[in-house]
Amino acid sequence: MKISALLTPERVICMDQINSKKRALEAMAELLAKGTGEMDPADIFNRLIERERLGSTGLGHGVAIPHARLGAEAQTIGAFIKLDQGIDFDSPDHIPTDIMFGLLVPEAHTDEHLRILADLAALLSDTSFTEELRATQNSEELFERLLSWSTSDNAT
């Protein structure tokens, strides 16, 4: 997986002033809608919430991968948020979440969806990598750090 195929600079941000899972998912929906033109942030938010009702997408260790499927005409896209303060994301270990990778995948792309989720889970379970992400100070640096991983020997 190449993260550069999922992310654009405008969909990677460092944020403060987020203090709830709902607000974090709203911000993620807004980010995922950026640059697509035809996607409605409210629709994306509702789909993310529907998925959360099935079970939290919080992985633990401060990481969450909120994701949803959209219509067949949609393209696979991602967004990344690093929060200044962790929030309760209903993660299994109850550690506040401060790293979120959002993902939208077309309905019919089940195999791709599962493969990308597995790759992201592996990436974000790398403690040294997530600590590097947490140490970043701005969105540009965060984007570059994410791209450096996708072009490293770890990329599939």
Q: For the CA atoms of 145, 62, 59, 116, what is the dihedral angle to 10 degrees?
A: -10
Taking CA atoms, 23 is separated from 88, 110, 123, 129, in Å, by 11, 28, 25, 26
Given 67, 94, 109, 113, the catalytic residue: 67
Q: Which residues of 58-69 are buried (b: 16+ CB within 10 A; e: fewer)?
A: bbeebbbbbbbb
Neighbour count for residue 145 (Cβ, 10 Å): 17
Specify whether 61 is catalytic. Answer: no
Taking every pair of Cα atoms in the chain, the longest distance, rounded to a whole number of angstroms, is 38
Spatial separation of the C-alpha atoms in residues 86 and 107, rounded to whole Å? 31
SS3 83: strand
> Which residues are identified as catalytic?
67
